[in-house]
Chain A
């Protein structure tokens, strides 16, 4: 379908808490960096897609244009839970495939400050004096049910996804989940763009404050600020650019977005597995590669339990074998399939809208051989994965340019 699309330039800010910069500063830094990296300017762009959740109704893409160039091109403001960045990336890709532009800019940006994903439940009070129980909403609830009838909050959902995997498969428990966090914190030490770059022992991880069993504080991603951007270009246009631009370009050999298909149990608790499995199958098919061909994977480890189940969902291990995979060191940077060598969301951070492009930045940087101390030597093929509850899953497979 359509011509091949390539990443021509990409850039990300360090993920951190920025008191001295606003959302648009961060987005501008990522956009200008990506344009410079690709050797092009805003005047070459035919489309802009901006992914942000916190100010989703605030025309963020147009506000960015006022800093990086108002050229009158179409702007898409995209919001799709934690798959927002991947969706912005894909919006530009589809526009190029459709022949409406030959180059475009995708950016994901978020400023979360200290707003938490770990916060408490919503209160049920109405604050108008008399309290009279009255059924409301689609469940006919007379008060807030979060925490009273189970939980639908992110930490609980992903903890339960891990525990359900432990129920269905042998050799998976608290230790295996903790080992995921041990690995990603160790990896982060090599990544200067990570929000946290600190190694922790398995005991420190297990003994940290319990957030939602089996995930302790060191097994949950932090909130933070940051932005990442990518310049995409169609095959035809790419061939008119310089030799160096062509050599550094990274091919997008699969781009997939899925949502939840109906399953019985996802009516009461989000199912983070089925849509990821579906996205992986489609992506491998589109790219003509298999999981055994991947030199690195950046997947959505919002919680340690999530990473473990996605080993299986993305076919990085034998069916049911995610526990063995982590026990055997398979996803470590020197293992069979390095996973989250950036430090992952657990250490690199997770500014929601930025995440789905930051993982593309990471993989592209390795494929170009420009990842410095954390370079996976000889990397030729990589996969990125994000999932947002609701749900939306984005998977991209990237390949190094030939020659």
Chain B
């Protein structure tokens, strides 16, 4: 098996089970997935790394119907209250199947391989089994 790289740097693959990692403001606890110069909530400039849980509920979703492969995108509220944007996977992208408020768990899958044989790993959320 070749090397793997997370599709984004806030997806952590290599310290046990895959999970997301937020930059957490040291002063007010606000969480961000992207690099910030200062906290948009309190202005604090110190951040720590905060591992996030992988379970949550689906707060909202949409289904893009135009492409030949429709897909569902949504916002998940993780069990610690952090909001995450992601695709909803492991279920048909059908409004009669996907339920608002349903329990979901994070899952990972391949997003392609580069010319060095490195595989990019993406994450999504699937209905809890």
Chain A interface (Cβ within 8 Å of chain B)? 118, 120, 130-133, 135, 138-143, 145, 147-152, 155-156, 159-161, 163-164, 166-167, 174, 209-214, 262, 264-265, 267-269
Contact = CB atoms under 8 A, between A and B. Distances in A.
B52 interface: no
Given A209-B65, A209-B66, A269-B75, 17 more contacts: A133-B120, A142-B6, A145-B7, A148-B111, A150-B74, A151-B64, A151-B85, A155-B64, A160-B73, A174-B95, A213-B61, A213-B65, A264-B82, A265-B75, A268-B83, A268-B84, A269-B83
A402 B61 CA distance: 48
B54 interface: no
Interface string B28-45: 001111111000110000
Interface string B41-68: 1000000000000000001111111110
A380 to B, nearest CB: 38
A164 B76 CA distance: 11
A118 B62 CA distance: 14
20 contacts: A120-B67, A130-B115, A133-B5, A133-B114, A140-B35, A141-B7, A141-B9, A148-B122, A150-B75, A160-B60, A160-B62, A160-B73, A210-B65, A210-B66, A212-B62, A214-B62, A264-B31, A264-B81, A267-B32, A269-B83
A168 to B, nearest CB: 9
A143 B111 contact: yes
A145 B122 CA distance: 9
Contacts, number: 144
A210 B31 CA distance: 34
Contacts of B122: 148-149
B87 to A, nearest CB: 6
A367 to B, nearest CB: 37
B64 A147 contact: yes
Interface of B: 5-10, 30-36, 40-41, 59-67, 71, 73-75, 77, 81-87, 95, 100-101, 111-112, 114-116, 118, 120, 122-124
Contact of B85 (A118, A120, A209, A269): A269
Per DSSP, chain A at the interface is loop
Residue of A149, A152, A156, A167 with most chain B CB atoms under a 10 A cut-off: A149
Contact of B33 (A120, A132, A139, A166): A139
Nearest to A157: B62
Contacts of B84: 268
Contacts of B112: 143
